[in-house]
Amino acid sequence: MTTSDLCRYLDQHRARGSVRAARARRCQRHTEHNEASVLGSGMGSIVADIRADEATLIRITEYLDIPENPATELATHISERMRALEVGGAMRGDSPVRRLLEFEMLLCAIDARSLLCRALIAARVDVPCDIDLQELDDRALDQRARLRPYHYEAAQAALATADAG
């Protein structure tokens, strides 16, 4: 990986970081407003972990002296808005299907962060000595496992039919 490739790669992930954190907060709100949820307020710790991981990614890019590219940031936010319109176009408000899709996109984002850690490990990218990429990858896998029950609950609420049985 060349330096410019590494810059582009990390800049893309950094730009998606704020989108990941915003999506996690939306999923948390979906859970908090769902009185039928039996899962309680565990989403708060997942959101906190995701925000901490994004701050760690920013530290890595700063350590590597990778400048923030405003065009990448803008394109990422436009792309996210377009995705939201696509997902929510016919679904105004807080529909069960929209909640399900939000959880699935968050799971994909967590997978992307795990893959980022693995790529940096494989390429032996120098990071600050107090950042353990394997620990970050393990934490992403843990977040995924903790998020899965919320996804299952959202799937049941969105896709279960009242007359099934």
Query: What is the span of the domain harbouring residue 125?
Result: 3-159
* 37 found inside a domain: yes
Tell me how far apart the terminal alpha carbons of the chain are, to the nearest angstrom.
Answer: 55
Alpha helices in the chain (DSSP H): 3-32, 43-63, 70-88, 96-122, 133-159
With 70 as the cut, is the pLDDT of residue 19 above it?
yes
- Residues 55-78 have pLDDT tens digits of 999 999 999 999 888 887 777 767
Q: What is the pLDDT of residue 56?
A: 95
In the chain, the number of structural domains is 1
* 116 found inside a domain: yes
CA-derived radius of gyration, the chain: 17
